[in-house]
Amino acid sequence: MKVIVQKYGGTSVGTLERIQAVADRVARTRAADGDAVVAVVSAMSGETNRLIQLARDLAPRPVERELDVLMATGEQASAALLAIALQQRGVAARSFLGHQIRIGTDSAFGRARIRRIEIDSLREALRRGEVPVVAGFQGVDDDSNITTLGRGGSDTSAVAVAAALEADVCEILTDVDGVYTTDPRICPAARKLARISYDEMLELASLGAKVLQIRSVEAAKRYSVPVHVRTSFDDSAGTWVVREEAGMEDILVSGVALDRDQAKITVERVPDKPGLASKLLGPVASAGIVVDMIIQNASHGGDTDMTFTVPLADFDRALPMVQKTAAEIGAAGVVSDSNVVKVSVVGLGMRSHAGVAARMFDVLARENINIQMISTSEIKISVVLDAKYGELAVRELHRAFVEEVDGTGGHG
C-alpha cells in the first residue's frame, strides 16, 4: 500500500462543485490501488484575499498575529468541507488543523517556517482507514499561537506532511498541468516537462514560475520527496520534480523564465570602502525588501557603481531609502529604472557544458537586445533587459536552447 499526499490548491477547491470533484478524485485514487491518501487543502480561491481585505479595512497594517488567526479560517473551512464531501461518499475522513496534527513552526507570523510535525494522529487516522484532510498553510508556534506559512504555503504543508509520513509521492494538484519549458502564453512552442530536478525547479520557482512555492521545493529536495505537479481537472500526468538522475545533464536548458517583477536601482560613483554594500542595502533589507541581483562594477579611480534589483511592489519604498544613504556616504547620484525584466535560462547541463552564456548573449545580440545586468549560478544565467524586449528574448532563447535541441534525449 502506497501513501499518496495530494495537495489541492485554491482553484481546485474554489467552488462546492470543485470540492465535489476533489472528493471524487480522492475516492478514486484510494479505490484504484487501495492506496492511502492524505489530502492537503488551500483556502477556496478568493477567500484569502477577502479576509485580508476585511482586516485592511479595519487597520492599514493589521497586527500580524491576528491576521494569521483570520487567514487560517480559510483552510480550516476547506478542510471541513472536503471531509464532509468525502463522508457523504462513504469515505471515512477527518479534518486536521495545524494545531491538531501538529505542525510546529517558528513565530514569524505571515511567513512562518515549519520546524517539526507530530504525525502520530495522522498515522492513526490512516491505520483506521480514514482519509486525513489537512488544512494547508497553517501551523502553531511553541505558545500555541496560530501561524501561517506565507503565500503558496500549502505546497510546503503538503511536502512537509509527505516527508514526515515518508509518503511515496506528493501530488500538487493545481490549475496548470505541469511545469513548462517556458510560459506557453508567451511562447506557443513551450512544452511540458516530464521530469525536472529539484535544483532546476528551485531556480525556476525563484525566477517567477508560480507553479510551486520555493520553500516547498527546498523541503522536497531536503527530504527527497518525489513531487508530481499535475492538473486537478483531469487524470493526465504532469511533471515529476525529483532527485537528479542520470541523463538529466544531457539537456542544456530545461526552462526559460521571464520575471516582470523587477526594478533596478544604481548608486553611482560611491567612494569604494569596505562596508559599502552593507551600508547601502542594510536599510532596504531591514524594511523586509528582498534584494535580488546585486552587481558592483569595477571601480574607476577609487569610486565604484553598485546596481541591484528589488521587487516592483517595493520599488517606491526602497528608492528613498537608497537615496538617503547614498547622500550620506557621498555617492554621485542614484538612477533607477522600473521598466526592466529579468530573463533566465535554467538547466543542469550548464554544469558540464561550457559556452551556454556566450551562446545566450549571442542570441540576444542578434536581436539587438542590450543586456543591462548579468548574474549567474551553477545552473542558471539571468540577464536584466529593457521590459519591451522581454517576450522576444524568451521566444528566441527558447528556440535556441529548447526547440532546436529537442529530440536529443534529456529529461524533457
Which residues are near a copy of itself by CB under 8 A?
16, 19-20, 51, 54-55, 57-59, 62-63, 65-67, 69-70, 72-73, 76-77, 79-81, 83-85, 87-88, 93-95, 97, 99-100, 144-146
* Residue 60 or 275 having the CB closest to a copy of itself: 60
β partners of residue 304:
270
User: Of all helices (H) and strands (E), which one includes residue 270?
Assistant: strand 255-271
* Residue 66 or 406 having the CB closest to a copy of itself: 66
How near is the Cβ of 172 to a copy of itself at its closest, in Å?
A: 24
* Residue 145 or 323 having the CB closest to a copy of itself: 145
Alpha-carbon gap, residue 398 to 188, rounded angstroms:
10
How near is the Cβ of 258 to a copy of itself at its closest, in Å?
A: 37
Q: How many residues does the chain have?
A: 412
Which residue type sits at 246? A
* Residue 70 or 319 having the CB closest to a copy of itself: 70
How near is the Cβ of 20 to a copy of itself at its closest, in Å?
A: 7
* Residue 157 or 181 having the CB closest to a copy of itself: 157
How near is the Cβ of 49 to a copy of itself at its closest, in Å?
A: 14
Q: Among 25, 170, 10, which Cα is nearest to 75's?
A: 10
Q: How many CB atoms lie within 10 A of CB 235?
A: 10
How near is the Cβ of 142 to a copy of itself at its closest, in Å?
A: 13
User: Can you spell out the DSSP letters for 169-221?
Assistant: EEEEEESS-S-BSS-TTT-TT--B-SEEEHHHHHHHHHTT-TTS-HHHHHHHH
* Residue 79 or 193 having the CB closest to a copy of itself: 79
* Residue 53 or 299 having the CB closest to a copy of itself: 53
Alpha-carbon gap, residue 67 to 49, rounded angstroms:
12
CA separation (Å) from 381 to 187, 235, 251?
Answer: 19, 35, 15
Alpha-carbon gap, residue 229 to 241, rounded angstroms:
8
Residue 114 grid cell:
515549519
How near is the Cβ of 16 to a copy of itself at its closest, in Å?
A: 5
How near is the Cβ of 72 to a copy of itself at its closest, in Å?
A: 7
How near is the Cβ of 173 to a copy of itself at its closest, in Å?
A: 19
Distance of CA 251 to the CA centre of its chain: 23
* Residue 55 or 169 having the CB closest to a copy of itself: 55
Residues 6+ apart with CB under 8 A from 254: 181, 193, 196, 197, 200, 204, 346, 347, 348, 411, 412
